Structure formats: structure tokens, C-alpha cells
Amino acid sequence: MGKKTLIIGGIAGGATTAARLRRRDESMEIIMFERGDYISYANCGLPYYIGNVIKSRDALLLQTPQAMKNKFNVDVRVANEVTKILPNEKKIRIKNLNSGETYEETYDQLVIATGSSPIKPPIPGIQADNIFTLWTVPDTDKIKSYIQEKQVKRAAVIGGGFIGLEMAENLHETGVQVSLIEMQDQVMAPMDKEMANLLHENMLKNQVDLILGDGVKEFHHENGMIKIELSSGKMVEADMVVLSIGVRPNSELAAEAGIQLNQRRGIEVNEYLQTSVKDIYAVGDVIGVEHYVTKEKTMIPLAGPANKQARILADNLCGDQKKYDGTLGTAVAKVFDLHAASVGLNEKQLKAMGKRKGIDYHTVLINQKSHTGYYPGAMPLTLKMLFDQEGKIFGGQMIGKNGVDKRMDTLATVMRLNGTIYDLEDLELAYAPPFSSAKDPVNMLGFVAENVLRGMAHFIEWDELDELLNDESKKEDVVVLDVTEDWEREAYFIPGSYHIPLGQLRKRMGELDPNKLIVPYCAIGVRSYNAARMLQQNGFGRIAILSGGTTFYKSMHYEQ
């Protein structure tokens, strides 16, 4: 008999470790403990089962204990909760939740893959049977049957992170009227505010009651209905509530065993995924990771990294010396009609780091089409990228109706390989009209970034322009130049702007004051860039192109 490896937790990290271990070592004794009744289920798919997008409940159960035993010869013990780790004796204590009996198992190697749990803050009235969290298969069953049995008409989702937004969409799919309440001034924290505004606009179009910058003070229960009292004093009524306030690592077992934790209660591991205690390892949501860009310690609870960590760990348990070298936090979500993706650092994080470390950065924000405009079905795509003077990429965010995921994957890959904005320009990507453009949106990010670094293009953001236009003392020094066609101006223009269509600009630039700041704009930014180059080479020294054009500018004023 080979070594004996015990694994605590049977979802992503635990189950993947077990399967890879068996593929590496047929003689190893592997026992996996899971306190729930299910292993290896698709928790990322749970909201879509509630929304009836995924019809089959069984489709979410990727492995059963019996199948795991038959295929991998892993002793899977569900409804068995590990209650104590005894590192000095190299054993663990387990409680069988069905029989109530307690027993012990020894180990040569121990893997902690206990994951994370939803945060349930001590808000008055939160402990009620119509207030739910969504994390496990039983959670899903409870929510789905409650909606059907009680014929829920109104639901409130607390929290605008990934799961909160997916739940809002899927509840809406079932015909429920949804309120989404978020304490911050935006949904989707990895996004910067202006990108999140695109999501806000679309949620309102989908009749979501979107409440931002307001937290829950108390839940009041009356005749099976919930009255949610917010910090502002506002009251929101609902038949049910789904909490999606965030997650915390399930690290209590590790802490009691004297295993070192980080400030956010995540288990500290080294590059080989070893904890501070000999022969004990950890993977997944429960561990702290190194951020691939900053090299600082952080917590990034995502399924992709958990699975990769598990594979590396299994190889190391079989004698390899593989390193896990950090997480980029690449993520994508479907939010009603839009797809939203992000990677690396956002501007809020860079500003905070700038104060600590003096980091300077540039941003570009561009509007592109998901494929060539002349081929039917092309959809707008907004891309934002952050980078430094040398071209190192810090992060990116993208929102659109299709083509978002492949662009984000491309950017994340370049970042993972330590590529720069110059590598984005060089990428040779698959092109045909139904799929992309000859200059892919990712190439365009590189081209625009290079223009910024070479001083060929200067941009002004929508809020900076608003600030200038609302300041009487600065307003006089600015000419907002509309370079769109007459028919476009009839549909929309920025108040106070001066109109010269791009095709007439060479002949009419004498109408502009070269001493003033000229802000050219068009629908997405291509014509205004051409206008800026023309003006710059004709003695106009102060030019700032409106980032994202009026398409983006209008979305930033969606409330109006």
C-alpha cells in the first residue's frame, strides 16, 4: 500500500486533487471527506438552474460518490464532517452526520479544501426562512421550491457581486420583479465605476429596481412578506430575499490546528501549496494567493484557480516540485443582455497602490464592434486597459453583448506571459467578417495605448469633461468639437459643442481658437482621433479626445 492521503472537502479543489492523485499513483490510499451530501457539483451553474436556463438538476452533479469510487477508487465519505485536525499525531477527527458517531483517521498527507461560505452579517431579522443564500445544491433546491410553492412575485437581492447579478437575472427570467440593493455606488467591484455604469443602464432597461449606495439596516417580517429597511430610511418590500454579500474562507479547522492564516483569515501557503504545518497542504477558496501583477498576498475565490492549484498540488504530493505562481483574477459574468469581464487590477486599486508605492499608470477606453460592422449582428464592445509608461499591462475590463470572453481571454493570456501593449499590437488573431475585424479589438487596445505613450493621442474622460463644462471659470477655455455628420447631430450632440464634420475640418479649422483646449468627439472615437491628428499637425497644441465617444458618454448619463 502506498501513502495515505486525506482530503477535507469534496467540491472543486478537493475532487480535482483526488482525481489527479489517482491518475498519478494507483497505489495511494485516498479518502475524501465532505460534510454536505454532494461532491463535485457545478456551483457556478446553480443560478441558471433557478432561472430554468439549465433544465436538468442532474446536469449540475458532475460526480457522485459511487462514480468517484468506481472510476478513481477514492473512498468518498459524504455527510462526514471533519471536526479536528491533530497535526502532532498526524490524524483527524470526523463526525458521521447521519449516525452521529465520531471516529479518527491517520494520514501521511492532509489536504484542506474546505472552500468558503457566504457572509451572513448580524442584521436584525436576517434569520428567517424566506431569506436565502445560494452556495450549495440544497440552497438551490430550497430557493427553487420556495419560488414555486409561494408563487413569489417580488424578490430582493442584497449585493451586486457576480452571484448577486446572476441571481437577479435568473429571478427576472422566472417572471419575478427584482430589486437589487448594493451598499457601494456600483455593482461588480472588479469593474471601475464608468464600466459598471453600462451594467446599471442595462439593468434599468430590464426593469430591475436598482438601489446603489444604500445598505440594509433591518429586515421586518409581516404576514410572510419582508420589509427591508435601508440605511437611508427607504423601505423595500419583497416576498423573498437572496443574500450575496460576499464569502469568507472556511479556515476554522486550520486555525484550531495552529496553521498560519493571513489577515483575511485565509490559510497561508507557499508556492508549493504547503501550509505552515508539515505534511498539510491547502487549495481553493480557503487559501491566500499571490496576485500575479502586484506580487502581493490577496484572496481570489474563483473556480479556475482552484482547479489549477489542485492539479499542481496532486503532482507535488506525488513527489514533483511544481510551483503555483499566482492568480490574475480573470473573470466573466453574464448580466442580463451584457457580458462583463475583467482581469488584473482596476483603476481604484491602482490609485490606492499609487499612494502606497508611487505607481503611475495610463488608461485607454475604446469602443469597437464584436465583428466587422458590415456583417450582420455586430454589437458594440467597450474595452478599458490600464498600463504603465513601459507598456506593462496592469489590467483590463470589457463589456458587450458578444465577443467579450475571447477578447478578455486574449488579454489575460498576454498578461500571464508578461507581454506588453506592444505584444497586443503584434498578435495575429483569427479573422473573418462573422468573427472579428482585420484589426481585432485587442490589437486596437495596443494601437491606442502606443499612441498615448508616443504622445500622438491625449484623452479626456467623460467625468473630466463634465467637470470642465460645469466650471464657469474653466468652461471659457474649452471648445467641444463635434466632428460627426449633420444627420448624427440631429439625433444627439453635447450641449454647447461646436460642429464641423470631419470631412470639412481641413478647410474650416480657422474657425477654432488654437489657444484653447479642443475636445473633439464622434460616435465611438475613430473620427475624433483623426481630427486630433489633423489639428495637432496644424499648430493646435492642446487637444484631448473624448474617450469612448458619445456612445459611451450617453451611457454615463443613463439616469437622464
Alpha helix (H) residue ranges in 52-95: 65-72
Answer whether 76's CB lies under 8 Å from 64's CB: no
Per-residue CA distances from 448 to 379, 439, 480, 542 (Å): 20, 12, 21, 18
DSSP assigned state of 151: T
Measure Cα distances from 459 to 46, 329, 351, 390, 453 in Å.
42, 28, 18, 19, 12
> How far apart (Å, rounded) are the C-alpha atoms in residues 16 and 32?
11
Count of other CB atoms within 10 angstroms of residue 346: 22
Determine which helix (DSSP H) or strand (DSSP E) holds 381, and give its type and residue range: strand 380-387
H helices of 124-245, where?
137-150, 162-173, 193-205
* Residues pairing with 479 in the sheet: 518
Question: Residue 335 has which C-alpha cell?
Answer: 448580466
By C-alpha distance, which of 249, 230, 250, 246 is closest to 238?
A: 230
Coil vs helix vs strand at 479: strand
Q: What are residue 465's phi and psi, to 5 degrees?
A: -65, -45
User: Could you give the 3-state DSSP secondary structure of residue 483?
Assistant: coil
378 grid coordinates? 455586430
Catalytic residues: 44
Neighbours of 185 (CB within 10 A): 11
Q: At which residue does the C-alpha cell 450575496 appear?
A: 244
* Bridge pairing between strands 362-369 and 380-387: antiparallel
